[in-house]
Amino acid sequence: MTRPDIDPRSFGKVAVLFGGTSAEREISLKSGNAVLTALKSRGVDAHAFDPAERPLASLKAEGFARVFLILHGRGGEDGTAQGALELLGIPYTGSGVMASAVGMDKWRTKLLWRGAGLPVPDYVLLDANSDFAAVESELGLPLFVKPANEGSSVGISKVKTPGTLAEAYREAARHDSLVLAERFVGGGEFTVAILGEGDDFRALPVVKIEPATDFYDYEAKYFRDDTRYLCPSGLPADKEAEMQALARRAFMVLGCRGWGRVDVLMDGDGSPYLLEINTAPGMTDHSLVPMAARAAGIDFPGLCVKVLELAHVG
């Protein structure tokens, strides 16, 4: 997918934008260092840039021609950094302002997907005055409670016992004023990486996720070694193709571009449901986009160069 004749010098001076101040800083540091090493290994003039330590405006003053944006969470994945880079006129990787902002908001993402006729699990918005017993009855147990504007499973709880939804709500509300309760879909968890634009736009092989813990939480995602990842996914070919087509459609409905990752649940009947989208996915040694890329014959440095090649303004 990456042009074999591309000259790494054509990218100019590249800033790998990582770290930041969100709840996902630790993961962004891991992702960013991996990307930085990979780009340098391919001869790209890449440099670390942490906006928690330097203002974004200095990117222009320091002569950066392109940005690999690998900030996770608020302040980096929510359209704010994208907007600043637009104003600076510096090409950056991943989705633009609107798609990044919407993709970070799980509620509004679900509204758009549902409005486009795409399947999402049933959910209820919670606040301090919600009838928690009624929500438990409506959605059934177990169910998930999550902040709408955090990633990496920050603030998420699995509610299994009647009468404990209120406690889970309070935990999620520590991270965001907008909190969702979501129906449990228990037939399997999958993710579909998207890479490319135009005629080169495709879904990579599906990855099936089998956590050893009760659900795919922060520890299972980034630090545990007993989470199982299956790629090939083990799905029949027609089911894999169906899931890839759904992920491509979900990506396009939100106006995303370049690269990303769509998380999908499957129910007991084999029907897929869209869970959420990641517009700046993790690039750590536990991350799923590099895993899918390897299955498609793209090594990690090649993946990083391809994403960088798709950098844009506007």
The SS3 call for residue 68 is: strand
CATH topology of domain 102-119+185-309: D-amino Acid Aminotransferase; Chain A, domain 1 (3.30.470)
State yes or no: is 182 an active-site residue: no
| Catalytic residue from among 123, 169, 222, 273 | 222
pLDDT at site 213: 66
| Catalytic residue from among 28, 149, 278, 287 | 278
pTM of this structure: 0.92
pLDDT digits (tens, 9 = 90+) for 51-81: 999 999 999 999 999 999 999 988 999 999 9
| Catalytic residue from among 233, 282, 287, 309 | 282
Question: Among the CATH numbers 3.40.50.20, 3.90.600.10, 3.30.365.10, 3.40.50.300, which is that of 8-94?
Answer: 3.40.50.20
| Catalytic residue from among 77, 240, 263, 309 | 263
| Catalytic residue from among 152, 157, 233, 287 | 152
State yes or no: is 77 an active-site residue: no
| Catalytic residue from among 19, 24, 196, 258 | 24
Would you tell me the crossing angle of helices 97-104 and 106-115 to the nearest 10 degrees?
110
For 123-183, give the CATH class: alpha beta
pLDDT at site 120: 98
State yes or no: is 129 an active-site residue: no
State yes or no: is 229 an active-site residue: no
State yes or no: is 5 an active-site residue: no
CA nearest to 121, candidates 276, 251, 279, 241: 276
The rounded distance, in Å, linking the Cα atoms of 219 and 224 is: 6
State yes or no: is 282 an active-site residue: yes
Q: Report residues of the chain scoring pLDDT below 50.
A: 1, 152
CATH 3.30.1490.20 location in the chain: 123-183
State yes or no: is 263 an active-site residue: yes
Q: How many CA atoms lie within 13 A of 78 on its CB side?
A: 16
pLDDT at site 154: 73
CATH 3.30.470.20 location in the chain: 102-119+185-309
CA nearest to 286, candidates 209, 213, 196, 198: 209
State yes or no: is 302 an active-site residue: no
pLDDT at site 3: 60
